[in-house]
Chain A
Amino acid sequence: MAPRRSPAAALEVALATRRVLVTCGSGGVGKTTTAAALALWAARGGRRVLVCTIDPSRRLATSLGKGPLSGRPRAIDLKAFAPARGGSLFAMVLDVKGTFDALVARHTKDAAARDRILKNRFYQHVSEALAGSHEYMAMEKLFELAQDERFDLVVLDTPPTRHALDFLEAPERLLGFLDVGILRFFLRPYFVAGRLTVRVATRTGAAVLRILDRFMGLQFLQELSEFFLAFEGMYDGFRARAAEVHALLRAESTGFVLVAGPQPQALEEALFFHRRLAEKRMAFVAFLVNRVHTDPASVGGARRGAKVVVEPGLAARLRETLHEQQVLARVERRAIARLEVDTRERPVLVPELEQDVHDLRGLAAFSELVFAAAKERARAAGASR
């Protein structure tokens, strides 16, 4: 089971050639850090790179070591890293509300139609705080950024949802939600009459309406029907855009990096993502496993020599400490081996760092480690063959 090429090489090629790189993974696995570090690496290699995070908690800003980022790309000073000619790095966070508003403005025919939506109470709450909107808008923004001539590469950091690939279906879901034709058909007279005097074509339709009414109440339905009526005429634009996003995610110039932690559970989720990518015919680039604990006894070779005399209590504590970390390394090694067998892919393994990454220098060190560690591993694998 010899993989075609080293995973780090695959990652490096992707960073040098693709237009869009999406990092996916469950929460707490260093996804944002990885996205920023890969973006920095590509920028140092001479590409014009934008890294965009969806995370509203400004984690990217934390790892770039600067003040808060905004919805507009901001240049990151790379002087200290002497990037190759032409290389530059921009960073931004997704502005969900702003993106949604812009989407509405683009697809409405006049200012009155636009304002009717923007002022709708249902829209205001839907577009802002609620879960789900982030995913819709991430895809919308990604499409816009991928067309942006200022950038050669867009690295997108995705939200750490449990089913992290759900957001890839966001455009279709948004469309499904807004374009429930029959629902609009029912809601129009609702809105007009303001009460339940709708003639319904089917018994199921009547039952759905009854549930909606029971569950949400008449006032909500009115708000909702206003909302749907306001979106009338935008569906074609939305549908076209959803199709474009769908195509972008499957384009040859787009790739996905699956980030995971070394714990069995985190790797199980990575395996799940890998399957989903294949189902959706989206291009897998590499697995990247962060914070891998190496066995302390495996590094540098076991030196034999005279017994060192250590006070018994201390010796016992040292033994226990070593034993614990060997257990941890073993558990992780097994889980990684399982992933390799199940996916026939070798992940890029990044050892645990001495310090948390929260500035550019740390990101640079991290990316150097990504490629150095992987190259070393490829060399070792080559030598053993």
Chain B
Amino acid sequence: MLLDSLFARRLVVLTGKGGVGKSVVGAALALAARGRGKRVLLVEVGAPLEAARRLGGAPSRGRETEALPGLFTLNLDPQTVMDEYVRHVVKFDLVARRVLASPIYHRFFAAAPGLKELMVLGKIMVLEQANRRLSREPLWDLIVVDAPATGHGLAYLKVPLAASRAVPVGPIGHNARRILALLRDPERTSIVVVAAPEEMAVVEAVELYRATRDDVRIEPQAVVLNGCHERRFSDEDEAWVLRLGTKSESGELEPGVPLQAAVRAARRQIRRRKLTRFYRDRLHRSLDSPLVSLPFLFREALGVDELSTLADALEAA
């Protein structure tokens, strides 16, 4: 149900504090959309460890690269996006090359605050508007953007607003307003906040959600709570485990499996599932938004199979 509403738009932007598994959620969303027969582009920004690696595809090297049939990845490097733009503006190759080699260009564009973010968002807007050559149908049925986790989670979403205010007239302001209009258009864009069931992550998710809504005036469509531990033992069994755990119990569950170790593991599971419930309740109370839980995966590696499990969980939500 959640996906019906998310996928009714063609642009899904994920935000959230670092370390909550945003890139994993992004890959799972892309897989779910692919499962619905959509042609999907998963965009990352300057990701050192690309999602393509988890999906079994080749690194994107700045170009849309098909990782699985119908699922493309693109790892945007802000500097490359900027260089591309210069080549687009300057038609003459020789001049473009000299500009790109010039120290003015490098020092200015490397340091001008907000410019990289604006360029990257501009590129995403171009991707959103790209059409197929013959049919004039959109090139991408869905674009999932894994916005970089900066210390200030809103930095990316705030840039077009700040830029449009700093420079109301001229191409910068004009483009900043177009980007802002795209992000704010509930028909075209969904913002999804990703959180994890931990104190800091939840505090920041709530702040991020409210700031997106109140400062940038975009209402996030959903919150994804990643890494959840669900109830596994009945009340009775939990009570038994907790009772046992306080004593140093000897004996074996079965040959080679000490009861003590199993009880210790179970106690940890119980603690985690209680924390999950606690933080889920808090998000429910604090935010008036659909909330989807994704399970914590105990796996050797996170590849297509594991991500598909998460995609299924999203599909079932």
In the complex, which residue of chain B has the Cβ closest to the Cβ of A331? B300
Q: Does B110 contact A (CB under 8 A)?
A: yes
- Whether the pair A131, B98 counts as a contact (CB closer than 8 A) is no
In the complex, which residue of chain B has the Cβ closest to the Cβ of A334? B300
- Whether the pair B105, A134 counts as a contact (CB closer than 8 A) is no
Q: Does B251 contact A (CB under 8 A)?
A: yes
Partner of B104, one of A56, A131, A182, A203: A182
Give, as a whole number of angstroms, the nearest-CB distance from B281 to chain A: 15
Inter-chain CA distance A125–B299, complex, in Å, is 45
Inter-chain CA distance A211–B200, complex, in Å, is 43
Give, as a whole number of angstroms, the nearest-CB distance from A195 to chain B: 13
- Number of residues on chain A facing chain B (CB within 8 A): 89
In the complex, which residue of chain A has the Cβ closest to the Cβ of B152? A56
Q: Does B253 contact A (CB under 8 A)?
A: yes
Interface segment, one of B35-43, B134-142, B159-167, B286-294:
B159-167
In the complex, which residue of chain A has the Cβ closest to the Cβ of B96? A207
Chain B positions within 8 Å of A300 at CB level: 248, 260
Interface segment, one of A80-88, A156-164, A338-346:
A156-164
In the complex, which residue of chain A has the Cβ closest to the Cβ of B99? A207
Inter-chain CA distance A121–B300, complex, in Å, is 52
- Whether the pair B89, A318 counts as a contact (CB closer than 8 A) is no
Q: Does A324 contact B (CB under 8 A)?
A: yes
Partner of B199, one of A129, A216, A295, A358: A358
Give residues 161-181 of A contacting B (CB, 8 Å). 161-163, 173-174, 176-177, 180
Q: Does B69 contact A (CB under 8 A)?
A: no
Give residues 310-330 of A contacting B (CB, 8 Å). 310, 314-315, 317-322, 324-328, 330
Inter-chain CA distance A327–B102, complex, in Å, is 52
0/1 per residue, A39-83, Cβ < 8 Å to B?
000000000000000111101001000000000000000000000
Residue of B85, B111, B167, B169 with most partner-chain A CB within 10 A? B111
- Whether the pair A160, B172 counts as a contact (CB closer than 8 A) is no
Q: Does B242 contact A (CB under 8 A)?
A: no
- Whether the pair B265, A308 counts as a contact (CB closer than 8 A) is no
0/1 per residue, B262-276, Cβ < 8 Å to A?
111110110100010
Partner of B113, one of A130, A216, A321: A130
- Whether the pair A26, B19 counts as a contact (CB closer than 8 A) is yes
- Whether the pair B102, A302 counts as a contact (CB closer than 8 A) is no
Chain B positions within 8 Å of A122 at CB level: 166-167
Q: Does A95 contact B (CB under 8 A)?
A: no
- Whether the pair B113, A159 counts as a contact (CB closer than 8 A) is no
Inter-chain CA distance A358–B299, complex, in Å, is 29
Inter-chain CA distance A131–B45, complex, in Å, is 14
- Whether the pair B48, A308 counts as a contact (CB closer than 8 A) is no
Q: Does B149 contact A (CB under 8 A)?
A: yes
The answer to whether residues A306 and B251 also contact, given A29-B19, A322-B262 and a CB cut-off of 8 A, is: yes
Q: Does A3 contact B (CB under 8 A)?
A: no
Give residues 15-60 of B contacting A (CB, 8 Å). 17-20, 46-49
- Whether the pair B253, A315 counts as a contact (CB closer than 8 A) is yes
Inter-chain CA distance A310–B237, complex, in Å, is 10
- Whether the pair A322, B257 counts as a contact (CB closer than 8 A) is yes
Give, as a whole number of angstroms, the nearest-CB distance from A27 to chain B: 2
Chain A at the B interface: mostly helix, strand, loop or mixed? helix
Inter-chain CA distance A324–B266, complex, in Å, is 10
0/1 per residue, B87-107, Cβ < 8 Å to A?
001100001101100111101
Give, as a whole number of angstroms, the nearest-CB distance from A177 to chain B: 3
- Whether the pair B117, A269 counts as a contact (CB closer than 8 A) is no
In the complex, which residue of chain B has the Cβ closest to the Cβ of A263? B19
Partner of B49, one of A28, A133, A265: A265
Chain B positions within 8 Å of A132 at CB level: 111, 113-114
Residue of B47, B98, B268, B269 with most partner-chain A CB within 10 A? B268
Q: Does B217 contact A (CB under 8 A)?
A: no
Partner of A217, one of B114, B151, B172, B301: B172
Inter-chain CA distance A239–B179, complex, in Å, is 36
Chain A to chain B: the 6 pairs with minimum beta-carbon distance, closest first: A28-B19, A27-B18, A217-B170, A159-B151, A177-B111, A125-B166
Known: A57-B207, A307-B255; 17 extra A-B contacts, CB below 8 A, are: A26-B18, A59-B200, A159-B152, A162-B47, A162-B148, A163-B46, A176-B107, A177-B107, A180-B104, A207-B96, A210-B90, A216-B172, A217-B167, A220-B173, A303-B258, A306-B250, A308-B259
List 26 A-B pairs, Cβ < 8 Å.
Answer: A27-B18, A27-B19, A28-B200, A33-B200, A125-B166, A159-B150, A160-B149, A177-B110, A177-B111, A180-B107, A182-B104, A204-B99, A217-B169, A269-B49, A296-B268, A303-B258, A308-B249, A308-B252, A308-B253, A314-B233, A315-B254, A318-B266, A322-B261, A328-B298, A356-B199, A358-B199
